[in-house]
Amino acid sequence: MNESVTSNTASKILANMSGLIPELELLYKDIHAHPELSMHETRTATIAADRLRKAGYDVTTEVGKTGVVGLLRNGEGATVMLRADMDALPIAEATGLAYASAVKGTDDAGNVVLVGHMCGHDMHVAWLIGAATLMSQARMAWKGTLLVVFQPGEETAQGAQAMIDDGLLKRFPTPDVILGQHVMVGPAGTVAGSAGAITSAADSLQIRLFGRGAHGSMPQASIDPIVMAAAVVLRLQTIVSREIAANDAAVITVGVLQAGTKENVIPDEAIIKLNVRTFDPGVRMHVLAAIERIVNAEATASGAPRNPEITQLDHYPLNVNDEEASNRIAGAFRSYFSGDRVKHTGPAPASEDFGCFGTSWHVPSVFWFVGGTDPKIYYEAKEEGKLNDLPVNHSPKFAPVLHPTIETGVEALVVGALAWLA
């Protein structure tokens, strides 16, 4: 597709964006203030479905429980799928925004938790509604089929597979390409991506260690699972530092260590929950095998009465951008955006289930990032060497600046789709 044609067509379609932005801002604030936990996004899904119907799409709801699919056929041409995730996190928001969430929800374990859109999926929903609306309003400018997917449960790695298991691949046209994007720390107004691996594979594990409880004054009568767990946690850190080559990448993070209820009681067991991020299948297999080896060895060294139990909590696949499709997207972006707004980035250690769609359909997919940080704040932090001080996704203080983040995300989806549909 000629990049100048794509840019010219995008300019025509996006000419109507300024009139839509106030509505999208209100929509974003509303969704931000009413977050919903993974696989429970009923209110958000209803909003998305209503907006798509209003824009003239054929709409199917409850795909994979709460997923929404909109289909707009507009003559002969390619089929492009655009995807946004909808779910929020069990995190208490601390942004201080006037539209901050005070919502409580019940998680799958039955716990009442505060809920917040601290990963930016509310922005993703607003972007996709905006792009879908503008594409519908300007049907004379493009040809083909637009498949718009609002996905549940990204934060728990459930949603994409749930939609696939619910017949997504058989119920809707096979796309020629699948496109998605994510708001991240970075100067607002910019887009960034690259061919190849773009987000990491992720594995979350629970390790249950068994000991023998006793009174705190009589440790000789116990097999202390807390000491066992502490040894495991420390030894796990040596996998990356001593078993993974310096030119490979892996991260092991222990996020939960639970044991006991009273200071003078040695408990029977301890729980460790950890997360692994990798960019290479071979490295992933080595890390997972090393974790199992270390856990079992420490239990044996402690004289544990039972073998540890290692349970996988969730898995995100490695998300790989198709090279040819990525180059097409990059060319379209460079043609439409000014040069300083298009950045090249290496793979991010964050993880996504977006790649499940392309893998299952056996079609190319491309995923990129949109900056959401006030440019002045970002560049000042960079100059001072304090980029790590900026609130990142999943921080209680993560809050993308509204403008030009809303505009840029809508532009990127429209320009990306038109690389096949113009």
* Same domain (yes/no): 178, 322: yes
* Same domain (yes/no): 154, 121: yes
* Same domain (yes/no): 194, 74: yes
Pairing mode of beta strands 104-106, 177-187: unpaired
Q: Are 90 and 185 in contact (CB under 8 A)?
A: no
253 class by beta-carbon count within 10 Å (0-12 exposed, 13-18 middle, 19+ buried)? exposed
CATH number of the domain within which 301 lies: 3.30.70.360
117 is in an annotated binding site: no
The pTM assigned to this predicted structure is: 0.93
* Same domain (yes/no): 390, 250: no
* Same domain (yes/no): 37, 135: yes
Closest CA to 269 of 234, 293, 304, 301: 304
CATH number of the domain within which 125 lies: 3.40.630.10
Helix (H) or strand (E) holding 244: none
* Same domain (yes/no): 283, 303: yes
* Same domain (yes/no): 329, 411: yes
155 is in an annotated binding site: yes
What's the total number of domains in the chain?
2
Q: Are 414 and 131 in contact (CB under 8 A)?
A: yes
* Same domain (yes/no): 205, 167: no
Q: Are 273 and 313 in contact (CB under 8 A)?
A: yes
Q: Which two tokens stand for residue 231?
A: 């040894």
pLDDT in tens, the chain (422 residues): 577 778 899 999 999 999 999 999 999 999 999 999 999 999 999 999 999 999 999 999 999 999 999 999 999 999 999 999 999 999 999 999 999 999 999 998 899 999 999 999 999 999 999 999 999 999 999 999 999 999 999 999 999 999 999 999 999 999 999 999 999 999 999 999 999 999 999 999 999 999 999 999 999 999 999 999 999 999 999 999 999 999 999 999 999 999 999 999 999 999 999 999 999 999 999 999 999 999 999 999 999 999 999 999 999 999 999 999 999 999 999 999 988 999 999 899 899 999 999 999 999 999 999 999 999 999 999 999 999 999 999 999 999 999 999 999 999 999 999 999 98
Question: At 31, phi and psi to the nearest 5?
Answer: -65, -40
Task: Say which residue the tokens 């079992």 belong to.
Answer: 296
25 is in an annotated binding site: no
Q: Is 136 helix (H, G, I), strand (E, B) or coil?
A: helix
Q: How many residues does the chain have?
A: 422
Range of the domain at 11: 3-200+318-421
| Separation CA 2–CA 328 (nearest Å) | 9
Q: Which two tokens stand for residue 85?
A: 């995730």
For residue 403, what are the CA distances in angstroms to 25, 371, 389? 9, 11, 22
Last residue of a domain, one of 289, 315, 341: 315
* Same domain (yes/no): 184, 216: no
Last residue of a domain, one of 315, 345, 367: 315
* Same domain (yes/no): 11, 59: yes
Last residue of a domain, one of 295, 315, 335: 315
* Same domain (yes/no): 178, 251: no
* Same domain (yes/no): 268, 325: no
What is the structure's pLDDT at 1?
A: 56
What is the structure's pLDDT at 96?
A: 97
Q: Is 86 helix (H, G, I), strand (E, B) or coil?
A: coil
356 is in an annotated binding site: no
Angle at 409 between CA 165 and CA 41, to 5 degrees: 40
